[in-house]
């Protein structure tokens, strides 16, 4: 009887494990290993040549590349902070203030925009903000503007688009953490005369720190690796690092250089996340739960 149960467990384990393993290995691990191999190969007139570090050295030798990455990283950090400042009160209201019926309605409102692709959502913003768009038509019709103004293709519009497309990925982890926060702690602090900012600083934010870091890492990585939103809403002057990778691979057909840039993006973003975890004194195990 015991042996039959063990065999059933083993067979069920292999039935579920093998498809997951094949999916991870064939679609994620194997392509990444091939790109890593390509990043260390040089190119000549006849094709790929021997092992070289020139593809990585080009990142530091050409100012346009590392300056673009610095710009991308700084904007990604800024977008993450803006998303966090908006998501914190939203998540608190949904979990601690709104009634149960309203909570479900609010969650649906937050989730509905993400039922369509990022491309459709970005094009929606472009229809609203372009020179001949809905917002310009409204402002000129009521007399606020005399002539239409181009609101697209600048850093402010690009940041707004990135905040909009990543907001859900910050709100959901925060809601998951705040739901377990005991309301009695907040009520006790309020009864003892603590101000709202003090309650947020001493109770809510420290308790929500695992969710804050989890959401911040997700948002930061999504923004850092974004291509559609910076390219469409930021225009030609967006200077996003993923566009450099795209140009190397698709336009210049230099896959070796593009692969090296991709791994530089992964390495440097991992360093930034590691520094953030160290500065906030958070254990990565508590963040990924």
In this structure, is residue 47 part of a structural domain? no
The conformational region for residue 254 under phi > 0 = left, psi -120 to 50 = alpha, else beta, is beta
**Sign (positive or negative) of CA dihedral 223, 225, 228, 233:** positive
* pLDDT score of 10: 65
Q: State pTM to two decimals.
A: 0.86
In this structure, is residue 57 part of a structural domain? no
In this structure, is residue 78 part of a structural domain? yes
In this structure, is residue 10 part of a structural domain? no
User: What residues make up the domain containing 102?
Assistant: 62-287
* pLDDT score of 120: 86
In this structure, is residue 136 part of a structural domain? yes
* pLDDT score of 45: 47
Where are the alpha helices (H) located in the chain, listed in sequence order?
A: 2-24, 30-39, 54-61, 63-92, 100-111, 118-129, 134-141, 155-166, 168-178, 183-191, 196-199, 205-224, 228-234, 241-246, 255-280, 284-287
In this structure, is residue 200 part of a structural domain? yes
In angstroms, the CA 249 to CA 272 distance is: 25
* pLDDT score of 113: 81
* pLDDT score of 231: 87
Q: What are phi and psi of 42, to 5 degrees?
A: -85, 170
In this structure, is residue 244 part of a structural domain? yes
* pLDDT score of 143: 80
- Domain total of the chain: 1
* pLDDT score of 77: 93
Count of residues in the chain: 289
In this structure, is residue 154 part of a structural domain? yes
Please list the rounded mean pLDDT of every run of 10 residues in the chain (289 residues): 54 73 84 87 63 84 88 94 94 88 85 83 86 83 82 88 92 90 86 86 89 91 90 80 89 88 89 84 64
CATH number at residue 199: 1.10.3720.10
């Amino acid at each position: 009887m015991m042996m039959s149960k063990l065999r059933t467990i083993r067979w069920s384990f292999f039935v579920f494990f093998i498809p997951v393993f094949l999916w991870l290995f064939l679609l994620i691990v194997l392509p990444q290993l091939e790109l890593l191999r390509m990043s260390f190969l040089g190119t000549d007139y006849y094709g790929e040549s021997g092992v070289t570090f020139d593809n990585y050295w080009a990142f530091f030798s050409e100012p346009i590349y590392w300056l673009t990455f610095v710009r991308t990283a700084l904007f990604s950090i800024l977008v993450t902070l803006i998303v966090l400042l908006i998501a914190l009160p939203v998540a608190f209201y949904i979990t601690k203030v709104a009634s149960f019926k309203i909570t479900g309605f609010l969650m649906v409102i937050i989730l509905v925009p993400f039922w369509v692709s990022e491309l459709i959502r970005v094009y929606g913003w472009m229809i609203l903000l372009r020179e001949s768009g809905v917002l310009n038509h409204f402002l000129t019709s009521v007399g606020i503007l005399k002539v239409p103004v181009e609101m697209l293709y600048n850093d402010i519009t690009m940041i707004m688009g990135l905040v909009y497309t990543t907001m859900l990925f910050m709100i959901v982890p925060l809601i998951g953490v705040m739901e377990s926060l005991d309301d009695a702690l907040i009520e006790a602090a309020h009864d003892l005369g603590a101000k709202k900012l003090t309650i947020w600083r001493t109770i809510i934010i420290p308790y929500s720190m695992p969710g804050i870091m989890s959401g911040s890492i997700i948002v930061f990585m999504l923004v850092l690796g974004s291509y559609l939103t910076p390219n469409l809403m930021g225009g030609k002057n967006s200077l996003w690092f993923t566009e450099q990778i795209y140009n190397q691979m698709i336009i210049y057909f230099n896959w070796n250089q593009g692969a090296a840039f991709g791994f530089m993006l992964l390495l440097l973003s991992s360093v930034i996340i590691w520094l953030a975890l160290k500065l906030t004194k958070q254990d990565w195990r508590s963040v990924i739960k």
